[in-house]
Amino acid sequence: MKRVISQLRDKFLGKGANVDYSDLDEEDYLEIDAGKDIGTKQKIVVKPFVVEEFAHVKPALDALREGYTIALINIKPIKDKDIVELKRAVNKLKKTCDAIEGDIAGFGEDWIVVTPNFAEIYRTKQIEELEE
């Protein structure tokens, strides 16, 4: 019986949770909080962002740091306005991407995709050869 209770405890409360069940008999019950979050997986969000100036990069960075967002970033407005600001924004995105061990790539002339560490951006052989 104690083995069954241990397995239930491990499943619902996590391994190594401190629960005192030494005073339980065969007829006693162990109460488990069914409302407790047991590690449900959060859905991944693909979210578009538009960067018109350097400060507009912050919402994309914050979403990426949360860990469940793939950011599609339209850089056309900042590219048309100021190339220096564009370079600053892209460098900031790259640094954050490195910090979260994610992946970053441009597609088309006006878009950048940034993913968290669990996702990888597919690249064809031609693109990989150009990057090397």
pLDDT, one tens digit per residue, over 23-48 is 555 555 555 555 555 555 678 899 99
Domains of the chain as residue ranges with CATH: 1-36 (no CATH), 45-131 (3.30.110.150)
Asked if residue 12 has pLDDT above 80, the reply is: no
pLDDT at 67: 85
pLDDT at 46: 94
pLDDT at 128: 59
List strands edge to edge, sheet with 45-50. 45-50, 69-74, 111-115, 103-107
Q: Three-state DSSP class for 70? A: strand
Q: CA-to-CA distance for 12 and 43, rounded, in angstroms? A: 21
The whole-model pTM stands at 0.62
